[in-house]
Structure 1
Amino acid sequence: MLRILAYIIGIPLLLLLLAVVLVPLLVDEQRLVTMAADAVEERSGARITVHGDAGLALFPRVALNLGDTEVNLPDPGQPEIRVGTLAVEVRLWPLFTGEVAITGIELNNLEITVPAAEVPATPENRSLTDAELDRFFEARRRARREAAESAAGGALALPMALNIQRLQISDARITLLQADDAEPVIIEIESLSAQGLNLDGEPVPLSLRLRVAGEPVVLLDLDATFSVDGEQQQLMLREADAELSGATPQPLQLQANGTVDLETRKADLELVLRSGDMRGDGTLRYAGFESPQIDATLQLNLLDPALLLLAGPDAATAETEKTGNGADTGDAPLPLDALRLADTRADITVDRAVIEPHTITDLHLQLRALEGVVTLDTITGAVHGGQLDATATLNARRSIAQLDTRGEFKGLDTAQLLAALDADPVLTGNASANWELTSAGRTRNELVQGLLGEVQLTTADIVLQQMGIERMLCEVVAQVNQESLQAQLPARTEFETLTATIKLGEGEALLAPLRAELAHVALRGDGRLDLATTEFRADFRAQLGSGLAEVDPACRVNERITSIAWPVVCKGELGGEPGEWCRVDSREILQALAKGELERQVKKEGGKLLQKLLDRTQPKEEQQ
């Protein structure tokens, strides 16, 4: 923003210098234009050419008018400047004494074309090799150092020193050329006005209305009061009210005050933010030639996409160019370009963060983004009735992004989670987990499919609706007992405990071991979940307890029934009908029972035969 203000206010000042030289020489228009141009070139190195008329108007006000004026700056790669009309209002009486008292300056149809920056263009995340990315980051560091050394901090000094009562710019257009023949960024200034410019620390009101062409169009409306200390090269922003629309879903309103060092391009600001229902305040330090470039501490009542602006101007521009209005299916490239340009440190607390479809309260984030590496040292908050505590690092320095995360959540309410996912409330209870995961990819789906690591899951008071495992087992037991169930058993499953070790890899989640305890049944098994399709299959072996008869007399068990493992197979798709997920393999059970009965009979008959053989071998006197 400081750079743009320098172009808007600072560059046209050379035209003002031309006017100061021209006014006392109102004799021969061609002669005075030539003399003034030579004087300006001698003082600034800039070459000024007036293609239009130059003259003095006495009505309705005394003013020097210049038409179609071109400014060529001395250094290569500098902006091209052209102004349609320059009007310099002066007091009439001082002219007779050879003095110039400027009361107002108007610039109309100002055109500024800024060449593409020498900083390397944003790297395409699918095209550059790792070695090329290393050279890219080194070139950016070098460009920043060079820019700091060559920074001209006195851009605002000249207009302020002229003590102009009124400065007015209208219908101005700034064209920021981009590297690699990319579409330029067009900034249209509808109006800029300032009153009482001075370097003595007196308040200066400023009003600015501009628009940035594109899709969507970005509009900025700014009203501010500032003062400048010429000796210290410091601008004091006493009060600023701005509204930015088009960059965020709802207009972003900003209030700010603080100090700006014009020489080093540093700003220390206190902020108040508003966007829709979002409210926030905090501090922000901007240092154009230092790292971090942006250092922010913010407290918000609601997380808003406007926070993307904290990535910095380069990153925000890159992200705007990369994102569209279509729905995100997960296959769109990650915003690696924006991450590689960000240089930010932020400490953010949010009362309520909506990250569709989840809501996190009391969210606290501490992050650092530098040269493509985004590190979140702190991610804490309350989510779906549980507590989240995690860390994460996304490394975009390489051609393929690397994700590392570890953490835990405790006491998550499964019913709240399902409600957030718009799923049927088929599961209630609490779940806790801890994880340590890694992944790599260029899209969100690639990161999900590439997850590697382990998750430990534990639960408490879990109830699965629409599926009664004990009822299914009781039905089979009743068939074995050749009886009918007397009670209407519930179509739900109440777990006393449910734990799993989840190993992620190759786009699947392997649940092994998977353990569950019911009141009268113990389940042991393993399963697989496809992360892309959410299809799953789990195979359990159920051990029935003697207390199963408490559920229904027809469910009574004996040693034969409790001695075998009852196979339970569950498969389906998460979000489907739980009542159709699981079944008991009664055929296998009956085969196992039949085999067990045969073995028992063999043992029984074998025992009788052995006893008979023993009886035959004993002496008769022993038998007696």
Structure 2
Amino acid sequence: MKKLIKIITITLTAAVLLIVTGGAILGLFIDPNDYKSEIEQKALETANINLQINGDIGWSIYPSIGLDISSIKASFINQDSLAALDSARVSIMLIPLLSGDIKVKAVTIKGLELNLVKSASGNNWQPQTAATTESETTDSSDASQPSEKQPNIDIESISIIDANVTYTDQVTGDVSSISAFNLTTDRIVLGQAFNAQLSFNAAISQAKQQLFSAETIINGNFSLDPAMQRFKISALDLQLKINADKNLQLQLKADIDANLAANSIAVDNLQINSFDLQANGALKLTGPQLATITGNLALETFDLKALLHKLQVSEIQTADDSSLRKVSLSTQIRGSVTQINFDQLHIKIDQTSIRGTASYNLDSAMANFNLKGDSLNTNKYLAANTQSSNSTNASATPSTSKSASGYAKDIIIPIQPLQDLKLKGELTFAQLIYQKTTISNLDLKLDAKDGLVKILKLNMHAYGASINNKITLDARKKNLKISIKNTTKKLQIGPILADFAQADVLTGLLSTSSNITASGQSVHSIVNSLNGKVQFTLADGVVKGINAAQKMCETINSISSLGGTISTTKAVDKSTPFASIKGTLNIKNGVISNNNFKADLDAINIAGKGSVNLPLQSLNYRVGLKIQDNLFKKSCSVNNKIQGIEWPVDCKGKFSDDPMKLCKPDLKVVADLAKQALKAKLEKKLGGSIKEKKKELRKKVEDKVKDKLQGVLKGLF
């Protein structure tokens, strides 16, 4: 046995000596530059490659098998240039190679140029013939063979200097390129960590117009273990500068551990910095095809206004310049290839906190949310001039497109965003402040998909009232359909008028129930298609600034010739309390009809009926007033003969008419009542001779009554 081992050892030693000696002789006596033409011809015959060796070729056999080449160009026959190389140097130690180990000295590649071109007839990185088919098939067959033990690989270093790759699609005109590619590494031993630095520029252009360019620098500590399918990058530092419509600078730091055998990739200590924005977190991909993701992400507090300014995005102008200066976000992440879920989501905007969950489905593009906010003061986020303009001028900028009726035909509700909207969820706020209004328990529930936007509830408490709304926007067809249902219970009118109109003229509790539909995208189309029903009741209120009963009393009592008992009781205040004002509005194609208006005021009952034509901007309404003795309080007593008689007022005309001339008392009815009273008084005085003086008195009575009523009733109406 010992003799056999000795024989084998001697044989191997002799073989090595023979190879080394032969290699040395070849290196000394054979110059590869003498065979350039033969090498070029062999490349053409065997691979259809047009090879041009313009530089020198150097080689060595011992102590390392090395190759040193320069100035080489290559392309397939009848195709664009594929590759060019300034110089390359590689050498493998011979002795370790004999034992199955690969020990490589420094690898250097300079000036590599790859020019990939795709045309309508094919591409330039494949031959036009099927010469490579057998080779490719053979390679595939070899790859299917059982893998052998991985050799030990030891590379002193790798340097790639100034490499450039260009991909041109002659069909579309797109050009993508990587330029100034540089890579340097420390010693590379599989399974051991090594440092590497990488930098390159990337660009994309279309029709000779650059769309995008980026400068990239990567540093890190890498560990490669193909046998164990384990790859690590620690202290990864990626710096990216993107030049496009908007310039962007980004820095990413992380530790990455990819264990492909265990179907796991972990990204720890993740840190992303861009301008003043910093994100921290960790992510992990697991499971078959790495389809499951878990992790966490946090955006540190940042100044949104400053960020938008640096991004050259239109800045947000707010009434309070300190708003949007402190924004942050944190969340837990879990998901799959089809959906990403954000749990324990916390969004903080200045002093407002919003918590809850959200998700996004990658297949359907549907976003879901369930969020709860504490308190939000919207006044801080309104445009700087919104509050002043709302309080001083309610008119909007005139439309450039109006119909004959005066309503704008400009689109105010675009239909495409509604058709694209895919959103479902619920948002609540414990408190929300808008101008002078404080809203509590705001609850918004939304379901929008396939062009049907349903606001299932928009509920709130404000001004002592419970307000519930349901709104539907149906954009599934070209003609937008709108549906609004509302229920309001005991809304305090007084504070609303004080807050929004700076007026203290009316108090009461308003309750409404409405169901309204409309169609169209402009004010004109919505007004002309308005349909539905509104029921309203205003209860337990006061009309301030006028004592309607006293004014009515004074008006009637001024006609002293009517006879009867006249009281001189003075009103104790200038206000008119009422028990209720109520009615029903029926709306058809923009025409509002009402036949049951009723108001019970102090000592006066008011009934009304008529219509308001919104498309024509006109109204035709009749109000009847009846004097009721001591309905609430006896502020003034009138002639007992006219109690219970209806005193009519007609309101007719256009919205553009003078409001002072829009409503007038029906003087014919008033004159008839006055004439009857005067007739009775005269008959009593003349003892039945009224018929003889009828013609003489008629004109005087009519003139007298008209003059007095027109002057006095004007103060009431």
TM bucket normalised to smaller:
0.5 to 0.7
8 Å CA contact 2:414–2:521 kept in 1: the answer is: no
Residue aligning to 2:431: 352
Equivalent residue runs for 1:538-553 within 5 Å: 538-547=621-630, 551-552=634-635
Residue aligning to 2:495: 416
Q: Secondary structure at the residue paired with 1:196? A: strand
* Residue 238 (structure 1) aligned with residue 325 (structure 2): no
Q: For the residues of structure 2 that align with 1:220 and 1:411, how far apart are their CA atoms?
A: 48
Q: Which amino acid aligns with 1:103?
A: N
How far does residue 30 in structure 1 lie from its aligned partner after superposition? 5.6
Q: Which amino acid aligns with 2:340?
A: K
* Bigger proportion of residues as helix: 1
Correspondence for 1:228 among 282, 285, 294: 285
Go from structure 1 to structure 2 and tell me whether the alpha carbon gap of 1:593 and 1:333 turns closer, same or farther (over 3 Å shift). closer
How far does residue 62 in structure 1 lie from its aligned partner after superposition? 7.5
How far does residue 67 in structure 1 lie from its aligned partner after superposition? 4.3
Go from structure 1 to structure 2 and tell me whether the alpha carbon gap of 1:237 and 1:81 turns closer, same or farther (over 3 Å shift). farther
* Residue 173 (structure 1) aligned with residue 230 (structure 2): no
Residue aligning to 1:404: 483
Residue aligning to 2:370: 297
Q: For the residues of structure 2 that align with 1:453 and 1:108, how far apart are their CA atoms?
A: 66
* Residue 451 (structure 1) aligned with residue 530 (structure 2): yes
How far does residue 372 in structure 1 lie from its aligned partner after superposition? 2.0
Go from structure 1 to structure 2 and tell me whether the alpha carbon gap of 1:401 and 1:556 turns closer, same or farther (over 3 Å shift). same
* Residue 566 (structure 1) aligned with residue 647 (structure 2): yes
**Per-residue CA distance 1:520-563 (angstroms, 9 max, x = gap):** 2111113556769999775311111233796456x33223x125
Go from structure 1 to structure 2 and tell me whether the alpha carbon gap of 1:78 and 1:526 turns closer, same or farther (over 3 Å shift). farther
Go from structure 1 to structure 2 and tell me whether the alpha carbon gap of 1:174 and 1:35 turns closer, same or farther (over 3 Å shift). closer
Residue aligning to 2:602: 519
Q: Structure 2: 5+ residue runs without aligned partners?
A: 1-89, 92-103, 117-123, 127-135, 137-155, 208-225, 259-263, 309-314, 319-323, 379-395, 400-407, 690-717
8 Å CA contact 2:110–2:162 kept in 1: the answer is: no
TM-score by length of 2: 0.56
Residue aligning to 1:133: none
Q: Secondary structure at the residue paired with 1:495? A: strand
Correspondence for 2:271 among 204, 207, 213: 207
Residue aligning to 2:331: 256
How far does residue 332 in structure 1 lie from its aligned partner after superposition? 5.6
Residue aligning to 1:279: 353
**Per-residue CA distance 1:40-64 (angstroms, 9 max, x = gap):** xx9xxxxxxxxxxxxxxxxxx9874
**Per-residue CA distance 1:256-282 (angstroms, 9 max, x = gap):** 112132x33533433101123321100
Taking only the aligned residue pairs, the percentage that are identical comes to 18
Residue aligning to 1:56: none
How far does residue 512 in structure 1 lie from its aligned partner after superposition? 3.3
Q: Secondary structure at the residue paired with 1:397? A: coil
Residue aligning to 1:375: 454
Q: Which amino acid aligns with 2:195?
A: T
Residue aligning to 2:248: 189
Q: For the residues of structure 2 that align with 1:499 and 1:336, how far apart are their CA atoms?
A: 37
How far does residue 404 in structure 1 lie from its aligned partner after superposition? 0.7
Q: Which amino acid aligns with 2:674?
A: A
Q: Which amino acid aligns with 1:233?
A: A
Residue aligning to 2:121: none
Q: Which amino acid aligns with 2:467?
A: L
8 Å CA contact 2:113–2:165 kept in 1: the answer is: no
TM-score by length of 1: 0.63
Residue aligning to 2:547: 468
Go from structure 1 to structure 2 and tell me whether the alpha carbon gap of 1:62 and 1:567 turns closer, same or farther (over 3 Å shift). farther
Go from structure 1 to structure 2 and tell me whether the alpha carbon gap of 1:360 and 1:462 turns closer, same or farther (over 3 Å shift). same
Go from structure 1 to structure 2 and tell me whether the alpha carbon gap of 1:550 and 1:459 turns closer, same or farther (over 3 Å shift). closer
**Per-residue CA distance 1:361-380 (angstroms, 9 max, x = gap):** 20112211112211012222
How far does residue 463 in structure 1 lie from its aligned partner after superposition? 1.3
8 Å CA contact 2:108–2:158 kept in 1: the answer is: no
Q: For the residues of structure 1 that align with 2:425 and 2:611, how far apart are their CA atoms?
A: 39
Q: For the residues of structure 2 that align with 1:494 and 1:361, how far apart are their CA atoms?
A: 30
Q: For the residues of structure 1 that align with 2:495 and 2:168, how far apart are their CA atoms?
A: 64
Q: Which has the higher contact order (CA 8 A, sep 6+)?
A: 1
Go from structure 1 to structure 2 and tell me whether the alpha carbon gap of 1:429 and 1:298 turns closer, same or farther (over 3 Å shift). same
Go from structure 1 to structure 2 and tell me whether the alpha carbon gap of 1:264 and 1:239 turns closer, same or farther (over 3 Å shift). same
8 Å CA contact 1:363–1:382 kept in 2: the answer is: yes
Go from structure 1 to structure 2 and tell me whether the alpha carbon gap of 1:364 and 1:550 turns closer, same or farther (over 3 Å shift). closer
Residue aligning to 1:150: none
Instruction: Work out the number of aligned pairs and report it.
Output: 477
Q: For the residues of structure 1 that align with 2:544 and 2:581, how far apart are their CA atoms?
A: 15
Q: For the residues of structure 1 that align with 2:509 and 2:517, how far apart are their CA atoms?
A: 26
Q: Structure 1: 5+ residue runs without aligned partners?
A: 1-21, 43-60, 116-157, 176-185, 212-218, 306-325, 610-624
**Per-residue CA distance 1:581-614 (angstroms, 9 max, x = gap):** 9988395565122343377689999x999xxxxx
Q: For the residues of structure 2 that align with 1:298 and 1:544, how far apart are their CA atoms?
A: 56
Q: Secondary structure at the residue paired with 1:29? A: strand
Q: Secondary structure at the residue paired with 2:546? A: coil
Q: For the residues of structure 2 that align with 1:356 and 1:544, how far apart are their CA atoms?
A: 42
Q: For the residues of structure 2 that align with 1:167 and 1:563, how far apart are their CA atoms?
A: 93
Q: Which amino acid aligns with 2:494?
A: A
Go from structure 1 to structure 2 and tell me whether the alpha carbon gap of 1:98 and 1:501 turns closer, same or farther (over 3 Å shift). closer
Go from structure 1 to structure 2 and tell me whether the alpha carbon gap of 1:100 and 1:161 turns closer, same or farther (over 3 Å shift). same
Residue aligning to 1:312: none
Go from structure 1 to structure 2 and tell me whether the alpha carbon gap of 1:504 and 1:360 turns closer, same or farther (over 3 Å shift). farther
Correspondence for 1:164 among 215, 223, 233: 233
Residue aligning to 2:61: none
Q: Secondary structure at the residue paired with 2:333? A: strand
**Per-residue CA distance 1:137-171 (angstroms, 9 max, x = gap):** xxxxxxxxxxxxxxxxxxxxx9x964222444434
Q: Which amino acid aligns with 2:584?
A: T
Equivalent residue runs for 1:309-320 within 5 Å: none
Q: For the residues of structure 1 that align with 2:593 and 2:575, how far apart are their CA atoms?
A: 25
Residue aligning to 1:614: none
Q: Which amino acid aligns with 1:289?
A: D
Go from structure 1 to structure 2 and tell me whether the alpha carbon gap of 1:34 and 1:433 turns closer, same or farther (over 3 Å shift). closer
Q: For the residues of structure 1 that align with 2:551 and 2:355, how far apart are their CA atoms?
A: 58
Larger radius of gyration: 2
* Residue 557 (structure 1) aligned with residue 649 (structure 2): no
8 Å CA contact 1:478–1:485 kept in 2: the answer is: no
